[in-house]
Structure 1
Amino acid sequence: MKNIGLRIHDADFEAGRRATAEAATLGDLIAAFRRQYILVLVFAALGLLFGLAHHITTPKQYYTSATILVDERRSELDEQIIASIPFARNDTSLLNEMQVLKSLQLASDVVDRIDLHENEIFLYPPSSLARSVLSDAKSMAAGMLGAEEDAAAPTAADPDAQLQRRKLQTAARLQRDIRVERIGLSFSIEISYIGHDPDLAAMIVNSYADAYLDDRMNANADATERTAAWMRSRLDALEQDAANVLAEAAALRQSDPTQITRLRELAQRAATLDELHQTISARYEQISVQGSFPVSNGRVLTRSMVPREPALPKMWRTVSVTIMLGIMFGFLLAVLREARERFFRVSTDVHDHTGLPFLGHLPRINDAEMTGRAAPSAQAKPAEPVAKGKPPFALPPHMAFSVARPNTMFSQTIRNIHASIAFGAPEGGKIVAVTSMLPEEGKTTLAVNYANLVAQSGARCLLIDMDLQGAGFDWAPAGPGIIDVLSGDIPLSESIHRLDDTGLHILPSGSAADQPRSGEIGIQRKLKALMPELRKHYDHIVLDMPPLSSGPDAKAMIGLLDKIVLVCEWGATPRSLVTRYLAHEPEVFQKVAGIALNKVDVRKLGRYARPGWPESYLKLTPRMV
């Protein structure tokens, strides 16, 4: 039963975690939008500007159209053939007429009518600035790559051949640009064209309509002529056949008048040929008359007027397209930026990637806020084990921020760090190391502010600079330090400074030119002997340690430490670096009390939090920032 209960509990936990993950998807999108919306808006604005610039620099184009009606006139023979399927025949005929309108032959007729092959605007239309830039860039790229344009087709020596080739190229271009569409289910066809010259555009579509009607009329005339020629040849053949039949009958009568049956067949054959000759002759006369007066099977319903207002470019269409492209490009960059996000930002980043407690956010300190505030000063006072007669010195303003501005988020975070360290630490002195993964992440600032806050509370606190290879306490006066004490050259009491305002004792690293590293065996042995003595005199000992990535110092001193405070720079320390280091150094991991994020931009912090996370409820006040 116990196992069953565990399985049910695990199943419920997994279901809850799965539901939470699914519910958090929308929160992720909202948080990502808060972070990246400015980027998307910037590219939308760029798209708007580009659209306006493109609209201004694009040449105007004019739309023209003409409408023709295709008649349903047919010959008597056509009517007899299609009587049973008129609709199929009608649709097929209309599609055929549309193919005629789209043909290269009709385009060639229009070119000849209006000498389009000599029109410079049609042959070399103006282009927009964007198209010109792209064309120049393409030509430049082709030149840089050494690509040569295809050689032009060899020109013919005959000027007439050159002219025909130019006309054919112009007709092919016109065939590509003309639009032919059926109007609804009617037998009307719209011919449309968009060009840069309104007069030329109207002339083109009207010429197309006229050329189509003339082509249909000529086609009817040609068909009539071909039919008449066929009938004429057929009549000649019938006359010859009739003459042959009559000659055969006359010869048969003279040679054998008794073949009555044969003579009757010849007579019937002659009558049939005569009747067929008369019928074809009548039709031939009708067709000859029809050929003299050809009739077109269409008419122009609407001729194009010269347009006064340009149809293109449409500003709203151009601007909307460029804005959408800008939004899409901005969204793509936002997705790429989100995919590249690999730094600590919010508390859940610390929990999810390291499994360590989150100690809080430390906002970036603005020294201008400390103007006019007296920084804690340090001098020697007769207090064991501090030496006497040392000159006082003042801390930089940002090093005393926690005591000068106690109500800020920075100070509250330090108090939270102190409370977290207080749990589980041994009595009789707590040795806390403050370190970071990389240099310049603000560990020294945190260590000094933390030690000042602890000392101000009335506890005996000692701050030791153990970053022997770093900048250390460069604001401290030159003199002996921890290295001198460990080497036995200087007594401990002559190396410690005391801050008047908070009572903090400070032990610098020392003034030796070549200081040994804290990870060396000799230094470690002497530190092990010194730390128990310091525990007797101080309630808290804060060590400013070198960065973890700079060497094995922190690992070498792990046995002397009670807790480690790890400082990571907000938006700068890679999560993978911290995770891998702690995974390979379990001894260090066990001593880390948590991670504090330093140099936080508080005004941007809420953008990285999902709805419901602590950072999403952050309310800033002037006193907290």
Structure 2
Amino acid sequence: MDNGRNALPPGSQPYPAYQIPVGPNTTLSPTEEDEGLDLRALLSVLWRRRYVILGTALFIYLLAFIYQIQLTPRYTASTLLTLQFRSEAVVDIQAVISGLSANESVIQTEIEVISSRRLISQLVDRLNLTRDPEFNPALREDSSLLRLIDPRTYLSSDWLMALGLQEPPEPLSEAEREQRQRAGVIGRVSSALRVSSPRMAYTIKIAFESENPQTAARLANTLAQVYLDDQLEAKFEATQRATDWLSIRITELRQRVVAAERAVQAYREEHSIIESGGQGTISEQQLSKLNTDLVAAKTQLADAKARYRQIQTSGPADIGALGEVMSAPMIQRLSEQEADIRRKAAELSERYGSRHPEVINVRTELRDIRRSISTEIDKIAKSVESEVELSQARVEGLSATLQELQAKKAELEGSRIELRELEREAESSRLLLETFINRFKEVSTQDGLQKPDARILSDAQPGAQTFPNSRRSLIIALILSLGAGIGLAFLLEKLDNGYRTPEQLERALRMRSLGMVPKLSSLKLRGRTPSQYVLKKPASSYGEALRTVYTAITHASASGDKPKRLLVTSSISGEGKTTFCLSMARLLALAGNNRILLLEADLRRGRIHKTLYSNDATAEVPPISDYLTGEVADWRRCVYTEPDSGLDLITAGGKVEHPQTLLQSENMQRLLHEATDSYDLILIDTPPLLAVADALVLTRYVDAAILLVQWESTPRDAVKSSLDLLRKAHAPEGGVVLTQVDVKKHAYYGYGDYASYYGRYGTYYTN
């Protein structure tokens, strides 16, 4: 067996293989327009999908409109606050409560404070919002259209829980349920709150959105007041904490002061360090006095010693002239008596003479007086001596005492070092106590003078409706719906896995498109098959489409040679190979100017002899399988000629074993060679390429292989895989034909090829 493309029996003349050339309309390489943005192609997609775009846009816009009219109008009211950065404190208490600093972080912090759940919870409690149906859905009945169209409305709780659309109820106590409701109300109030601050300004705007304008204003004003009250409470709490802390510290400090002073006093008593009227300690006073007494004693001793030495150094005649003697009262009296007696003795001597008894008596008396004076002088001398001894003893006693006191003073000075430390500690405790007492008085005074760090510039008033903005929302909905429609159009175009135009085939497959064959409606067929319809209506649009395909095949060669052996195949089953072959063969045979042979080469699922004839005329004609297996010697015995069209048919018959072996047998080669001499055109109906490889076996014996592609249905990957199989088998490419084209739908898509005009120029056809 010759493995060449046109292997024939020995001695026969081979028929030259026919290759349909690539014409000027075949796209073999991307054009410049394909490399860039093809605006016409984009507009073509939009036009083809215009009803998808409009329908999608209208549907989405209608939903948006229904949703819009079902929305509850909401109103916004706002209160404006300004922060106070100037301190107006009457007393200096910055260490306890400081004002706000003028920076952006502080303003942002105050915004967070206003938005905190703590203040929102106070607002909820102050206005009793848990009893407001707007913020507590448990008190509200939803009768809107959205609820009516919501399928969950009509499902029981059991179904909703089974589908995962509702959480199973939790066993909650009444307190837990109320707490959860309150938390939900706080969250919804927080969602309705907007707190903002303009740049380069110390103002804060509190805005609330509500279904009622009065409620919105009331919420904004109340939250502003709650914020100011919270500031005051914070300052009062800080003041109270400071007061309490100062009270505790003052009590402690008082105890410390008392303990320190007691320690000082105890130390003084223990070490006999006793102050006396601000003149120092008693020991110091005693030491000072003792020094004075010692000086005085030493002076007295010196004086006594001087007088005593004078007495000792004076003679008997001079001793009476001493001042110590002369100053003695007894000596003075005795001296006066002596003077009187001497005067009397002188007078008596002068009168009576020296021997007169009276004179002698007087002289005796004078001697007695003088003896007495001498005795007194001795006494004075002894007295001075005793005074010297006494003074000496006193000086010695005072000196000893002074030394003892000085030793005690040195010891006392060592003790006073620790005493001064105790006194300093007691003094510092007293000063700290005084400081805390003064600060306590300041804090107590400031307690009634606190002011918030913000004030209200303008109260909220019932505002205008801010939601929904119908005009803007509907414009956005229109734009989004059109965008969704356009996106859906391009998505469908991208997801479109079939071919609709010859241009798509040529661009994707790099293979000539031979035309399109329309799909006949049941109204036109009226129970007939397309191949029967073409016999009755050869001038119909269906027949004209078949002629166009045949014309494209016959005029493909520049030399004018017509292919005689055409292999018709497809990628998958159901694309209309048999219908196409039978319809074209009947149409060409009916014209009468060509001899046409239709060869059914599908040895696995032959259908012509089963489905096309209602009589048993084909039963007497053996199928081609009988000839290929050798049961029939001449292939011409397998030819059946239709009486209505004059078409010669060779049917496949039933299933056979090893169909590929039969198709590439010498009998098949002989049949094709001999039939080429007898017929103007041989149409070979083969099985799908992706199902079996039977068609690939026959490609070496034909002039051109025609690949049928069902319009909009055959997957693109399947078509490309089939074409890849043909090219790997070096099959002569004849072209591609789109079959079962829905003309109305094709025209609806807006394709500008000739198939879209079949319905428009119906007067040219006999349908």
Same fold flag (TM > 0.5): yes
User: What percentage of aligned pairs have identical amino acids?
Assistant: 20
Partner residue, 2:454:
298
Equivalents in 2 of 1:166, 1:466: separation in Å?
80
One-letter identity of the residue aligned with 2:641: I
Quote how far apart the aligned CAs of 1:454 are.
5.1
Does the alignment pair 1:362 with 2:362?
Answer: no
Question: Which of 162, 165, 168 is the aligned partner of 1:143?
Answer: 162
- Verify: 1:178 aligned to 2:193, yes or no: yes
CA-to-partner distance for each residue in 1:444-492, whole Å, 9 max, x for gaps?
5544564466567773323435367214682686524753796589987
Q: Which residue of 2 aligns with 1:252?
A: 275
3-state DSSP of counterpart to 2:134: helix
The equivalent residue for 2:498 is 343
Decide whether aligned partners of structure 1 residues 78 and 333 sit closer, same or farther in structure 2, where only a CA change above 3 A counts.
farther
Q: CA deviation at 1:55?
A: 1.8
2:136, 2:181 within 8 Å by CA — same for their partners in 1?
no
1:459 aligned onto 2:596: no
Per the alignment, do residues 122 and 587 of structure 1 end up closer, same or farther by CA in structure 2, a change over 3 Å counting? closer
User: Which residue of the other structure, out of 71, 74, 95, is the alignment partner of 2:84?
Assistant: 71
Structure 1 residue 190, shift from structure 2 partner: 1.6
Partner of 1:414: 550
Q: 2:468 aligns with which of 292, 313, 320?
A: 313
CA contact (8 A) 2:566 2:703 kept: yes
Aligned CA RMSD, in angstroms, stands at 5.7
1:10 is matched with which residue?
A: none
Contact 2:91 2:442 in 1 (8 A): no
> What CA deviation, in whole Å up to 9, does each residue of 1:154-213 have, x standing for no partner?
666xxxx99788767655654554332224432222222223344433322222122222
Q: Distance in 1 between the 2:135 and 2:576 partners?
A: 70
Tell me which residue corresponds to 2:566. 432
Q: Who is 1:385 aligned against? A: none
Indicate the residue corresponding to 1:479 in structure 2: 617
Structure with higher RCO (Cα < 8 A, 6+ apart): 2
Q: Matched residues in 2 for 1:332 and 1:88: separation?
A: 54
- Residue of 216, 219, 235 corresponding to 1:201: 216
Counterparts in 2 of 1:121 and 1:346: CA distance versus 1, 3 Å: closer
CA distance change for structure 1 residues 310 and 143 in 2, over 3 Å: closer, same or farther? farther
Rounded Cα–Cα distance in structure 2 between residues aligned with 1:584 and 1:75: 95
- Write the mapping of 1:188-337 to structure 2, written as runs, cut at 5 A: 188-226=203-241, 252-253=275-276, 256=281, 288=444, 290-292=446-448, 294-307=450-463, 309-319=464-474, 326=481, 330=485, 333-334=488-489, 336-337=491-492
1:564-591 CA-partner distances (Å, limit 9, x unpaired): 4333222223343344345445696524
Q: Which residue of 1 aligns with 2:641?
A: 496
Asked whether the equivalents of residues 470 and 546 of structure 1 are also in contact (C-alpha less than 8 Å), the reply is no
In 2, distance between residues paired with 1:609 and 1:369? 24
CA distance in 2, matches of 1:505, 1:418: 21
Distance 2:742 2:681 in 1: 30
For residues 168 and 458 of structure 1, the distance between their equivalents in structure 2, rounded to whole angstroms, comes to: 92
Correspondence for 1:566: 707
1:48 equivalent in structure 2 = 61
Aligned to 1:57: 70
Alignment partner of 1:568: what SS? strand
Q: Look at both structures and tell me which one has the larger radius of gyration over its CA atoms.
A: 2
Secondary structure, aligned partner of 1:311: strand
Q: Matches of 1:142 and 1:395 in 2, distance apart?
A: 59
TM-score by length of 1: 0.69
Distance 1:292 1:99 in 2: 28
**Aligned in 2, Cα 1:36/1:229: closer, same or farther, shift over 3 Å?**
same
* Count of equivalent residues: 571
Matched, 1:470 2:607: yes
Amino acid across the alignment from 2:685? M
Alignment partner of 1:622 is 2:761? yes
Q: Deviations over 1:10-42 (max 9, x none)?
A: xxxxxx969665326666655544444543443
User: Distance in 2 between the 1:619 and 1:78 partners?
Assistant: 99
SS at match of 1:42: helix
Q: Could you tell me which residue of structure 2 aligns to residue 541 of structure 1?
A: 681
Amino acid at match of 2:598: I
Distance 1:528 1:494 in 2: 16
**Residue 545 (structure 1) shift:** 1.6
Unaligned runs of 5+ in 2: 1-28, 286-412
- Pairs within 5 Å for 1:383-394: none
Aligned equivalents of 2:85, 2:642: Cα separation in 1 = 113
Residues 85 and 101 of structure 2 are in contact (CA less than 8 Å); yes or no, is this contact kept in structure 1? no
The AA in structure 2 aligned to 1:205 is: A
Report what 1:384 is aligned to: none
Q: CA deviation at 1:342?
A: 3.3
Match status 1:594 vs 2:731: no
**SS in structure 1 of the partner of residue 36 of structure 2:** helix
Question: Which residue is 1:106 aligned to?
Answer: 119
Q: Deviations over 1:45-92 (max 9, x none)?
A: 22212211222233333323222222234156999989xx99954545
Amino acid at match of 2:454: G
**Contact 1:436/1:443 (8 A) holds in 2:** yes
| Contact 2:228–2:455 under 8 Å retained in 1 | yes
Distance 2:542 2:120 in 1: 87
Question: What TM-score does the superposition give when structure 2 sets the normalisation length?
Answer: 0.58
- Whether the 8 Å CA contact 1:400–1:449 is kept in 2: the answer is no
CA contact (8 A) 1:406 1:412 kept: no
Distance of aligned partners of 1:106 and 1:588 in 2 relative to their CA distance in 1, 3 Å threshold: closer
Q: How far does residue 134 in structure 1 lie from its aligned partner after superposition? A: 8.8
What is the alpha-carbon distance in structure 2 between the residues aligned to residue 596 and residue 45 of structure 1? 37
Q: Which amino acid aligns with 2:216?
A: A
**Alpha-carbon distance in structure 2 between the residues aligned to 1:494 and 1:227:** 120
* Counterpart in the other structure of 1:13: none
Corresponding letter in the other structure for 1:466: E
Counterpart among 568, 574, 580 of residue 721 in structure 2: 580
Segments of structure 1 that go 5 or more residues without pairing to the other structure are 1-15, 376-393
Which letter does structure 1 place at the counterpart of 2:497?
R
- How far did 1:359 drift? 1.6
Code of the residue aligned with 1:496 in structure 2: it is T
Change in 2 beyond 3 A, CA 1:616/1:304 = farther
1:332-367 superposed Cα distances (whole Å, 9 cap, x missing partner): 655553444333334455446555432223344568
The separation in 2 between residues aligned to 1:175 and 1:367, in whole angstroms, is: 65
Change (3 A) 1:589 1:400: farther
CA–CA separation in structure 1 for the residues paired with 2:100 and 2:126: 35
Give the equivalent residue in structure 2 for 1:380.
none
Residues 74 and 439 (structure 1), Cα distance of their counterparts in 2 relative to 1, 3 Å cut: same
Q: Distance in 1 between matches of 2:531 and 2:724?
A: 37
Distance in structure 2 (CA, Å) of the matches to 1:164 and 1:563: 84
C-alpha contact 1:582 1:588 (8 A) present in aligned 2:
no
Distance 2:427 2:200 in 1: 51
Task: Indicate the residue corresponding to 1:389 in structure 2.
Answer: none
C-alpha spacing 1:139/1:65, structure 2 compared with 1 (3 Å): farther
Residue 68 to residue 470, structure 1, CA distance change in 2 (3 Å): same
**CA distance in structure 2 between the partners assigned to 1:402 and 1:78 by the alignment:** 114
Is contact 1:405-1:411 (8 Å) kept?
no
